[in-house]
Every structure is written in C-alpha cells, then in structure tokens.
C-alpha cells in the first residue's frame, strides 16, 4: 500500500507575536522558504501580528 500526502498550503498565525528579530527573518528566508518552494506547497498565507504597527 502506498500513501501520497500532498500539502497544498501553509498558514502562519502570528497574531500574538511581537517584533520578529532580523536574525529570525534571515533564518526563515535561508531555511524555510527554499524548502517550501521545492515542495508542493502552492499557497502561503500569514496572519500578521496585532502589534505590527505599534
């Protein structure tokens, strides 16, 4: 028996987060983003922090 699991999207809920450090942003761009682009994820959504403009 073979099972194929296809992930179509990624949702990040950042409503409760405070400021994201520059180092963490660079880590995401270097480590997570390339892996996302190499796989079957076709949609990516981010719910921004409630604290984004304060």
Burial class (CB in 10 A: 0-12, 13-18, 19+), 49: middle
Q: Note whether residue 38 is domain-resident.
A: yes
* pLDDT at 26 (0 to 100): 92
- Write the DSSP symbol of residue 48: -
Q: Note whether residue 21 is domain-resident.
A: yes
Task: Name the residue range of residue 30's domain.
Answer: 9-47
Q: d(Cα 19, Cα 8) in Å, to the nearest integer? A: 28
Q: Note whether residue 24 is domain-resident.
A: yes
For residue range 16-42, list pLDDT tens digits in order. 888 778 898 899 889 888 887 787 777
Q: Note whether residue 52 is domain-resident.
A: no
Q: Note whether residue 16 is domain-resident.
A: yes
* pLDDT at 20 (0 to 100): 78
Q: Note whether residue 34 is domain-resident.
A: yes
Question: How many structural domains does the chain have?
Answer: 1
For residue range 1-10, list pLDDT tens digits in order. 444 445 677 7
């Amino acid at each position: 028996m073979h099972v194929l699991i296809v992930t179509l999207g990624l949702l990040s809920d950042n409503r409760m987060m405070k400021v994201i450090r520059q180092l963490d942003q660079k880590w995401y761009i270097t480590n997570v983003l390339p892996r996302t682009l190499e796989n079957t994820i076709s949609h990516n959504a981010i719910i921004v922090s409630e604290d984004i403009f304060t």
